[in-house]
Amino acid sequence: MADESGQDSGHAAGFTWGDLLAALIEEHGTLSAVAWRLVEQAPGDDVASIERALRRLRRRGQLDGGVWGQRLLRVFGVPATVESRVRWMGLYHSPFGDLPLPLCLDQLRLWDRPPVSTSRARVWLHLGHASCALRGRALEDAAAQLTRASAALAGLAGHDDARVELALIEAYVASQRGEPVHAALAAAERTLASGTLAAADAACFRARLVDQRAYQLNRAGDHAAALALFESLPADDVHPFASYRRDAGRAFGCFRAGRREEALALAWRACEHAGDGGYTRLRAMGLLLVARVQDGPASAAARARARAIALRLDDGELLARVERQEQASRGAS
């Protein structure tokens, strides 16, 4: 970014080392106070030399922070507001995944630079990249990002939300490869049982876990057991995402049981939950469910709306779902 004199200000887009130090100075009062904290963690360095090192680091923008960058992140980490933002990009049940795919990738690339990409928060960047890869139908890229996320979590205390997210995406990737999913789903279940997650996140994770288990049952033809799983979810609407998963799953189960009127009402309820939460992709999936339950022109109209959403989001995985249903509809006619 250039100032009015035409000189390069050295400011980089996104979160920089200068931004990190500014946040730490605001929290601790002075640069000297930040330096003293580093001395306490690693005796032997004098405050004046640390201050000089931090001033040099402040000018590094989003370049590698070297030894002092790593020490700063080890002691302080990134601000909670920054970790919250990248966490939002890494959670599948946040509305981030309902943005157009190219925009999601642009945002992830913007934040996937030092200091964030070398901090503990980087696990969320890997998880966000994995979800985007799945939306782009790049299964191997997603698996590679999951390996990186797992490495980022190694040795870290806490981060139960990231551990459940990782396990659920691993299970989804395994299911797409035709591999066993039990171990990954069991890992998600154990972490959920710890009770450390906020109520809204726990509800969303629980609904996602049920959805994956029900998918396996539906594939095996045990539609009644799959429906029972969805009906076991709480009836109260803790979070629109969780409510969508519950009612969409119930709608499919009722449809398989021949209860078409009930299935259609639940499918439209699922669409409403998706809209209430700002979940455009989920709304498209709900419309596909509506199309499956209905017949004739009404079915085609719902499917066309879902296709339009997939195209606007540039979402290959969602478009593939639409095309599979269109092909099935042509084969049935």
Say if residue 295's pLDDT is above 80: yes
Which amino acid is residue 179, in one-letter code?
E
More confident call, 195 vs 6: 195
In the three-class reduction of DSSP (H, G, I as helix; E, B as strand; rest coil), residue 15 is classed as coil
Give tens-digit pLDDT for 160-208: 999 999 999 999 999 999 999 999 999 999 999 998 999 999 999 999 9
Give residue 333's pLDDT. 62
Which amino acid is residue 135, in one-letter code?
R
Least Cα distance to 278 among 130, 129, 118, 95 occurs for 95
> How many DSSP H helices and E strands does the chain contain?
17, 0
Copy the structure tokens of residue 295.
């017949």
Say if residue 145's pLDDT is above 60: yes
DSSP structural state of residue 95: G
Give tens-digit pLDDT for 52-82: 999 999 999 999 999 999 999 999 999 999 9
16 vs 162: CA distance, rounded Å: 24
pTM of structure: 0.90
Give tens-digit pLDDT for 99-137: 999 999 999 999 999 999 999 999 999 999 999 999 999
C-alpha pair distances (Å), 184 with each of 83, 237, 265 = 25, 27, 33
List phi, psi (to 5°) of 220. Answer: -85, 0
Say if residue 331's pLDDT is above 90: no
